[in-house]
Homo-oligomer: A and B are copies of this chain.
Amino acid sequence: MSELPQGSVIGILGGGQLGRMLSVAASRLGYRCHVYEPGAAPAGDVAHSVTTAPYEDEAALRRFAEAVDVITYEFENVPTSALDLLESLRPIRPNRRALAVSQDRIKEKSFLNELGLQTAPWAAVNSEDDLRAAADRLGLPAILKTTRLGYDGKGQVKLDDETDIPAAWASMNDAPSVLEGFVAFEREVSVIAARGLDGSVACFDPGENIHRDGILRTTTVPARLSPAQRADAVLVAARILNALDYVGVMGVELFVTAHGLLVNEIAPRVHNSGHWTQQGCAVDQFEQHIRAVAGLPLGDGNRHADVVMENLIGDDVNRVPDLLKSRDTAVHLYGKGAPRPGRKMGHVNRITR
């Protein structure tokens, strides 16, 4: 296992808030970051270098790869052609398989089921007829999602009864889709898990998530889980990471049900539901990811405080003046300019014990 030397440059695909916080974490370990981002890059404010170019610009991709020692990403929808080129020049961590699996909901669910892990019941949907048959089999209500590129509630629609089928399918624009049956779950938790270059695995305590309109609102640690559920959650995450020969941090979203844990979704990157670690742990998820990517030993994930993380979405930023006055509250803003509805502008970690 080779450790990245001090002063090395870590390339980050994507320049949003996750890249921004990764760059800060890398600086704490003596590394520099070079961000590649086609659009506006809040990460650029705290990065050593920024390349602003589309993922189709081969010359820019090549210069970027040659300027860095290892490549990671904050965002899993990087085009395959860009990844092919980059991978020929520098290691990409986490690896391509993790990306391929998480970029496609059907691949993801198949992978998880093959590992013996439970998911919500699902069916591939490529036509209105498929959708009808799937609705029949899984029952309604259910959620129809495009297999690719969806996040934060985009590219998905809820079907309450059969009359919703034509409009739901039409809204998919013929994109390959998947129907997910509803799961009666008690709560959603997520495990932020990490695997090092040496194969060691470390997990943070599971956090309990509340979503609204498909967007994460709060994560609370500790989650309300029995010791057995807590152990299960960690084992599920470790099984996924090991199966993928994964290097880095992964967010694993789980449904807690009367019949055990179901895997809702995996994200091969630092995850919004792990932001609480910034105030709860000596080594947060961003540093943990950088440690893994750089071949350093992982932090043990030990939590020394209880934390409630709340996202600041859209106009929530207007609460910042009050939040700045709140006791034991860490405000994290992303430097994004004007708020828009649904736009993540920052988050707050409140230390509760």
Contact B46 A27 (CB under 8 A): yes
Nearest chain B CB to A313's CB is how many angstroms away?
15
Could you say which of A6, A45, A47, A331 has the most chain B C-beta atoms within 10 Å of its C-beta?
A45
In the bound complex, how far is the Cα of B331 from the Cα of A32, in angstroms? 16
The number of times this chain is found in the oligomer is: 2
Map CB proximity to B onto A21-50 as digits: 1 under 8 Å, 0 otherwise: 001100111111100000000001111100
In the bound complex, how far is the Cα of B333 from the Cα of A28, in angstroms? 5
Contact B31 A46 (CB under 8 A): no
* Interface flag for A272 (CB, 8 Å): no
Residues of A279-300 contacting chain B, CB below 8 A: 279, 282-283, 291, 296-297, 299-300
Contact B328 A302 (CB under 8 A): yes
Contact of A31 with B335 at beta-carbon distance under 8 Å, contacts A305-B305, A324-B296 already known: yes
Contact B331 A29 (CB under 8 A): yes
Contact A27 B7 (CB under 8 A): no
Nearest chain B CB to A294's CB is how many angstroms away?
10
Which residues of chain B come closer than 8 Å to A33, judged between CB atoms?
45
* Interface flag for A341 (CB, 8 Å): no
Chain A residues bordering chain B, tally (CB within 8 A): 46
* Interface flag for A212 (CB, 8 Å): no
Which residues of chain B come closer than 8 Å to A119, judged between CB atoms?
none
Contact of A282 with B283 at beta-carbon distance under 8 Å, contacts A7-B337, A325-B297, A335-B6 already known: no
* Interface flag for A182 (CB, 8 Å): no
Contact B46 A282 (CB under 8 A): no
Which residues of chain B come closer than 8 Å to A48, judged between CB atoms?
44-46
* Interface flag for A216 (CB, 8 Å): no
**Chain B residue with Cβ nearest A29:** B333
**Chain B residue with Cβ nearest A23:** B46
Which residues of chain B come closer than 8 Å to A325, judged between CB atoms?
297
Which residues of chain B come closer than 8 Å to A31, judged between CB atoms?
335
In the bound complex, how far is the Cα of B305 from the Cα of A328, in angstroms? 11
Which residues of chain B come closer than 8 Å to A177, judged between CB atoms?
none
Which 10 residue pairs are nearest across A and B when measured between Cβ atoms? Answer: A30-B333, A282-B330, A46-B46, A30-B335, A27-B46, A45-B48, A297-B325, A297-B324, A282-B328, A32-B45
